[in-house]
Structure 1
Amino acid sequence: MADELHHRSLLTGREREIFQLLVKDQTTKEIAARLGISEKTVRNHISNTIQKLGVSGRAQAIVELLRLSELSLD
Structure 2
Amino acid sequence: MTEESKHRSLLTAREREIFNLLVSDNTTKDIAGRLGISEKTVRNHISNTIQKLGVSGRAQAIVELLRLGELQLY
Normalized against structure 1, the TM-score is what? 0.94
Question: What's the C-alpha RMSD, in Å, of the aligned pairs?
Answer: 1.2
Specify every segment of 5 or more residues in structure 2 that has no aligned partner in the other structure, as ranges: none
Identical aligned pairs, as a percentage? 82
Q: How does 1:34-53 map to 2 (within 5 A)?
A: 34-53=34-53
Q: TM-score, normalised by structure 2?
A: 0.94
- Listed as ranges, the matches of 1:53-72 within 5 Å are 53-72=53-72
Paired residue for 1:19? Answer: 19
Displacement of 1:7: 1.2
Cα shift readout 1:9-62 (whole Å, capped 9, x = no counterpart)? 000000000000000110000000000000000000000000000000000000
Give the drift of 1:2. 7.8
State the distance in 2 between where 1:17 and 1:54 align. 20
